[in-house]
């Protein structure tokens, strides 16, 4: 009986960790900046320019708030480096899950660390971090599909900013200040079918990046998104919002960008505080 309860608790702990991975690396956009206003462009051209500029971002820091399927209301703040190597640090709170709703995620040298709270320590013999070596994942690990956990963790979050370019109805809403920065607000709606259709004329690298973003929404059961983008005077995205109806509840996320191309350093947790997730899954009978 005690073993069964312990396995159940560890299973919930692992599940919460993977939910955090999905949130950390999906549904986020590009950067921010301040400067003189660019020449007036059409709404579609302005959105396309901001999406293009996201390719040059080497690091960013952002704040995320809103509601996601199953997890409910969330708040998070993260830093991510894309070049020369990928690294990420995120602190996230699921507001509807009480004292154990906070989690921290770090990605260092292709190793993901999930944890940093007392609830996890209680279920892992006092160790407060779970470790997942993504470089060791096989093709069928954690659901297959070419290592979805690893793929999400290492994906440049700027990729989602390009999804609004697939909308046929992009329009300007007006000018607004976001965190003290003057921006122009745009809105449009997209379906996953039209997004895929819009990739036909893109190069291979662009198609692959955007396809990964589309797959994330498919897994949530979302087939249509209302998307808002706030673009600053340097043609970068200052804020991004996406809304849609998913299979297991509403999706409504707002991402505000605090800075970009600033140094990002992420350290692995102390080894003494870390439990190997692969070993935990072996104990549970997983592969």
Interior CA angle at 73 toward 243 and 104, to 5°?
Answer: 110
Per residue in 100-112, pLDDT tens? 678 899 999 889 9
Give me the sheet containing 224-231, strands edge to edge.
Answer: 171-178, 181-191, 224-231, 237-246, 249-260, 59-68, 72-81, 87-94, 102-108, 111-115, 129-133, 274-276
Cα separation of 82 and 120, whole Å? 29
Q: Which residue has the tokens 């969330």?
A: 74
CA atoms within 13 A on the CB side of 220: 28
Give me 59's structure tokens: 């690091």
- When pLDDT is averaged across residues 76-97 and rounded to a whole number, the result is 88
- When pLDDT is averaged across residues 196-204 and rounded to a whole number, the result is 79
All structural domains of the chain with their residue ranges? 2-283
Residues forming beta bridges with residue 132, ordered by sequence position: 112
Give me 24's structure tokens: 């950390």
Three-state DSSP at 11 gives helix
| Res. 268: pLDDT tops 50 | yes
Quick one: pLDDT at residue 161?
64
Quick one: pLDDT at residue 285?
65
Per residue in 250-264, pLDDT tens? 889 898 999 888 999
- When pLDDT is averaged across residues 73-79 and rounded to a whole number, the result is 91
| Res. 25: pLDDT tops 70 | no
Quick one: pLDDT at residue 79?
92
Mean of all residue pLDDT scores within the chain = 77
- When pLDDT is averaged across residues 2-15 and rounded to a whole number, the result is 47
Quick one: pLDDT at residue 170?
92
Quick one: pLDDT at residue 28?
39
Fold of 2-283: outer membrane lipoprotein receptor (LolB), chain A (2.50.20)
Query: What percent of the chain is modeled with pLDDT above 90?
Result: 24
| Res. 60: pLDDT tops 70 | yes
Quick one: pLDDT at residue 18?
55
């Amino acid at each position: 009986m005690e073993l069964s309860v312990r396995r159940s608790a560890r299973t919930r702990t692992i599940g919460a960790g993977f939910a955090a991975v999905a949130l950390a690396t999906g549904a986020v956009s590009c950067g921010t900046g301040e400067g003189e206003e660019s020449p007036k462009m059409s709404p579609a051209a302005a959105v396309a320019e901001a999406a293009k500029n996201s390719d040059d971002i080497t690091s960013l820091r952002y704040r995320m708030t809103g509601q996601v399927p199953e997890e409910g209301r969330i708040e998070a703040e993260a830093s991510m480096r894309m070049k020369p190597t990928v690294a990420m640090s995120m602190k996230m709170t699921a507001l509807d899950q009480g004292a154990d709703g906070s989690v921290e995620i770090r990605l260092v040298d292709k190793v993901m660390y999930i944890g940093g709270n007392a609830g996890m320590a209680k279920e892992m013999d006092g160790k407060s971090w779970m470790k997942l070596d993504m470089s060791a994942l096989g093709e069928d690990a954690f659901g297959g599909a070419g290592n979805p956990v690893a793929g999400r963790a290492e994906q440049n979050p700027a990729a989602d900013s390009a999804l609004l370019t697939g909308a046929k109805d992009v329009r300007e809403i007006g000018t607004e200040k976001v965190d003290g920065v003057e921006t122009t607000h745009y809105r449009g709606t997209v379906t996953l079918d039209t997004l895929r259709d819009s990739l036909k004329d893109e190069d291979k690298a662009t198609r692959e990046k955007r396809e990964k973003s589309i797959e994330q929404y498919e897994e949530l059961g979302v087939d249509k998104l209302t998307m808002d983008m706030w673009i600053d005077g340097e043609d970068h995205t200052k804020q991004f919002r996406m809304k849609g109806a998913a299979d297991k509840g509403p999706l409504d996320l707002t991402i505000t960008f605090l800075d970009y191309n600033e140094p990002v350093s992420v350290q692995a947790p102390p080894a003494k505080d870390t439990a190997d997730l692969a070993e935990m899954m072996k104990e549970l009978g997983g592969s």
